């Protein structure tokens, strides 16, 4: 690990910038809309489409992390070092995303109850 790798990543990080607040607001708005929509609409076909779409989104986010890191920092030694040390290691959020995607696809009722609001 080189000494320039951490300062580069840290120097470009902005704690709760505009993009963070926009992403948080969009996440909450989407969650609230989905909750109200799925409780009012009892179509199992639409529910399964939403379930598979969300699972695909979770898996895509985990899979694209190394690609987006290379796009952001370039095809340089620093970029690949960031991929190796930050993107290719599974963090807890990556593991949880994969488990939730599997639960959404398999419709595992026990797992869904632990991560959704009760009826």
Rounded to whole angstroms, the Cα distance separating 108 from 117 reads 15
Instruction: Confirm if 47 and 38 have CB atoms less than 8 A apart.
Output: yes
- Report pLDDT for 86: 79
Rounded to whole angstroms, the Cα distance separating 62 from 55 reads 11
How many domains does one find in the chain? 1
Taking the alpha carbons at both ends of the chain, their separation in whole angstroms is 50
Q: At what angle do helices 18-40 and 44-73 cross, to 10 degrees?
A: 170
- Report pLDDT for 3: 46
Say if residue 92 is exposed, middle or buried (CB neighbours under 10 Å; 0-12, 13-18, 19+).
exposed
- Report pLDDT for 25: 93
- Report pLDDT for 6: 52
Nearest to 81 by CA among 69, 64, 91, 90: 69
- Report pLDDT for 14: 65
Average pLDDT per block of 10 residues along the chain, 119 residues long: 49 72 91 85 80 90 87 84 79 86 76 51
Domain that residue 84 falls in = 5-115
């Amino acid at each position: 690990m080189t000494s320039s790798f951490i300062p580069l990543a840290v120097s470009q990080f902005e704690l709760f910038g505009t993009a963070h607040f926009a992403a948080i607001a969009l996440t909450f708005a989407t969650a609230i809309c989905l909750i109200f929509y799925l409780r009012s609409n009892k179509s199992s076909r639409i529910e399964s489409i939403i379930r598979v779409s969300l699972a695909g989104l979770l898996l895509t986010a985990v899979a694209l992390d190394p690609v987006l890191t290379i796009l952001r920092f370039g095809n340089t030694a620093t970029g690949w070092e960031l991929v190796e040390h930050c993107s290719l290691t599974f963090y807890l959020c990556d593991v949880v995303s994969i488990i939730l995607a599997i639960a959404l696809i398999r419709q595992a009722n026990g797992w869904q109850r632990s991560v959704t609001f009760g009826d």
